[in-house]
A and B are shown apart, each in its own frame.
Chain A
């Protein structure tokens, strides 16, 4: 069990560019989550996968954001035409199926849009 892995850990990009983050969940975890966290705030839910199916998306996830989880393994979060307001840490998490199972978080991917 190597934990939830995210990369890149840090990304600086110019406004208007596209960025993609990757998340490798704990193996055998069916559920995968993406959260966004800004400085001094708690994580905010973005989206959730059960295997390869994206079952819920937050209103925070504008049309510029897209997430995929092909084959129910790793996941990618792409942000198109980045804006300065997208600067945040993007957290990935995973859990096993079941009621109230512990959700394990990765170390996050910091995005800075300049």
Chain B
């Protein structure tokens, strides 16, 4: 079974600054996907960024980038130029790359990020 650990329950950052959210995971799989999801106070979960484990290049999406360390099973999210709208809970999630039907996400406990004006 896979586990995802987010050990920081809360973080705070000043607007326009950079913040890094940590995530570690445990799996015996060699092929998988990793995701960061954002859940704003309105509660709908939206995808921020995804990483394919077989790709060495770190994924980037505008102000969001990841540091994927496969050997260390670490997957951190860096948010640059933080904006007030980035205030939300952020969840790290794992998905096996399976030829079978199972494609579910396994989530960490999440981290609450507050962006200060």
Contacts and interface: CB of A to CB of B under 8 A. Distances in A.
Interface of A: 31, 33, 40-45, 48, 50, 55-56, 89, 91, 93, 95, 99-108
Given A95-B103, A100-B33, 5 more contacts: A33-B104, A43-B105, A45-B104, A45-B106, A103-B105
Interface of B: 4, 6, 33, 37, 42-47, 50, 52, 91, 93, 95, 97, 101-110
A40 B109 contact: yes
Contacts of A101: 103
B103 A31 contact: yes
A94 to B, nearest CB: 11
Nearest to B109: A42
B103 A108 contact: no
A18 B4 CA distance: 33
B91 A43 contact: yes
B107 A42 contact: yes
A103 B91 CA distance: 13
A107 B91 contact: no
28 contacts: A33-B105, A40-B110, A41-B109, A42-B4, A42-B93, A42-B108, A43-B91, A43-B107, A45-B105, A45-B106, A48-B101, A48-B103, A50-B101, A55-B102, A56-B104, A99-B97, A99-B103, A100-B95, A100-B97, A100-B103, A102-B50, A103-B103, A103-B105, A104-B47, A107-B42, A107-B43, A107-B44, A108-B43
B22 to A, nearest CB: 15
A51 to B, nearest CB: 10
A82 to B, nearest CB: 21
Contacts of B95: 100
Given A42-B91, A100-B52, A108 B44 contact: yes
